[in-house]
Amino acid sequence: MIPQPTLEQMKDELRVSAEFLARYNRPGPRYTSYPTAPVWNDAFGPADLEAVHAAADLARTPVSLYMHLPFCESLCLFCACNVIIQKDKRVSIPYFNVLKKEIARVSESVSREREVVQFHWGGGTPTYSAPAQLEDLFAYTKERFTFSPEAEIGIEVDPRVTSREHLETLRRLGFNRLSMGIQDFHEPVQQAIHRIQPYEITRDLILAARSLGFDSINVDLIYGLPYQTAETFAHTVDQIIGLAPDRIALFSYAHVPWLKKQQGSFAAHLPEGMQKFEIFRTGLLKFVEAGYLYIGMDHFAKPGDELATAQAHRTLHRNFQGYTTKAGADLYGMGVTAISGFHAAYAQNFRELPAWEKAIAERGIATMRGYHLSAEDRLRREVISRLLCHTVIPKREINEA
């Protein structure tokens, strides 16, 4: 086990010069995979994914399922995710029907002997849909895969649209983890990003989830948003600490107005350079001082959390959903834009809804692009993953990998 640095050590180590920051503060892809998504290509198609599915089934690896539910009632202006904004919630009905066809096709490639150890609904806002719709989709999935009794079953929720009935339904179905976006409680920030989410509704949802027995509650924050300062963000962090979530993700805002035009509306009000770094530094030090362990990159966890235990035993892993204890599982992504990750390949579904629907109708899977990993790719991925999870790499671990 590698000891965590003391708070005083972290304060000293988190002081950087403007020159240092200018050298390394450069845009780049998020290392949720290696090789990173920009190098994937459309030469990898549905037949390639079917071959990968067959190899994974022969290997009898554990299974992780991800389903992308893309709908939101309104657009958060900072968001760079693949979402569909629609007030009329009937639009999700045909989407769920197509998604079921993809679930059925993928399940044919997964032996019932292989257990699902991780299941996640993301988006978008999965709780955009009615509880009955979610229950129907979950039942359809569970009929076609074998779930481990200890499966980690999680969902992303938006406190602004998630009802008590949603929570009760999810808990009854077996969901044990909730992840909710907060970003920042400071009102000028919320107004600028078009996400008005008062502290009180977030607090009440967390209290309701705890009363229903959810095992883990994760909250997401973003630093670098318009009108943020270290002082205002410190207040948000204090409020989060008071809510005592089990895990915290502190993401850096990615400003990509050439991809997401709505971000251009607040470009003149973004904290940059040292100002943005001080916001991050403030959050990190406050969470550590409050007793959270800094897992790495953008994650914090309570000392008794599974992530902290896995890091202590050097079994922590990182995939497209972030840090996880489910190393060795093959990830099957379903839904528009969903990503799959296997031992030696990645695949991504079409990003546009019509193209995804057409591909599912024709073949049952909707691969837009992907990548076959070479032996050297897999070695580099292992080294990068160990760095992200543990910061130190004993050579023997790489030799044995």
- pLDDT tens string 214-235: 999 999 999 999 999 999 999 9
The strand pairing partners of 146, in sequence order, are: 115
Could you tell me if residue 105 is inside a domain?
A: yes
In a domain, residue 35? The reply is no
- Whether the per-residue pLDDT at 9 is higher than 80: the answer is no
Question: Per-residue confidence at 260, pLDDT binned at 50, 70, 90?
Answer: confident
Which residues does residue 322 pair with via DSSP β-bridges, in sequence order?
319
The answer to whether the bond into 124 is cis (omega within 30° of 0) is yes
Task: Tokens for 232, please give them.
Answer: 């205002």
249, part of any domain: yes
**Lowest mean pLDDT segment, chosen from 13-22, 124-133, 195-204, 366-375:** 13-22
In order of 132, 221, 249, 387, the CA distances from 31 in angstroms are: 36, 19, 15, 11
Residue 54, domain CATH:
3.80.30.20
Tell me the average pLDDT across 103-122: 97
Closest by CA to 173, choosing from 208, 201, 147, is: 147
- Find, among 360, 341, 264, the residue nearest to 56 by Cα: 341
Residue 2 pLDDT: 52
Inside any domain, residue 36: no
Q: What does the pLDDT look like over 117-151, one tens digit per residue?
A: 999 999 999 999 999 999 999 999 999 999 999 99
Q: Examine residue 32 and state whether it is found in any structural domain, yes or no.
A: no
Residue 104 lies in a domain: yes
Q: In sequence order, what are the beta bridge partners of 66? A: 120, 333
Confidence (pLDDT) at 69? 97
Q: Which residues contact 86 (CB under 8 A, 6 or more apart)?
A: 71, 72, 73
Q: Which residues contact 333 (CB under 8 A, 6 or more apart)?
A: 66, 67, 68, 320, 339, 340, 341, 347, 348, 349
What would the mean pLDDT of 150-172 be, rounded to a whole number? 97
Cβ atoms of 156 and 181 within 8 Å: the answer is yes
DSSP H or E stretch at residue 361: helix 353-363
Is residue 171 within 8 A of residue 219, CB to CB? The reply is no
Structure tokens at 376: 């050297």
Please report whether residue 332 resides in a domain: yes
On whether the CB atoms of residues 393 and 322 are closer than 8 A, the answer is no
Residue corresponding to tokens 């180590």: 13
CB-based contacts of 93, cutoff 8 Å, min separation 6: 133
Express each pLDDT in 282-331 by its tens digit.
Answer: 999 999 999 999 998 889 999 999 999 999 888 898 888 788 888 889 99
- Supply the mean pLDDT for the chain: 93
The residues facing 89 across adjacent strands are none
* 51 inside domain: yes
Per-residue pLDDT at 401 exceeds 70: no
Return the percentage of the chain with pLDDT > 70, whole number.
99
Q: Domain residues for 374?
A: 7-25+41-400
Q: How many domains does the chain have?
A: 1
Q: Give backbone dihedrals phi and psi of 204, rounded to 5 degrees, phi first.
A: -65, -35
Question: Which of 1 and 231 is assigned the larger pLDDT?
Answer: 231
Is 137:100 a contact under the CB 8 Å cutoff?
A: yes
How many degrees, rounded to 5, is the angle at CA 177 between CA 179 and CA 68? 60
DSSP 104: H
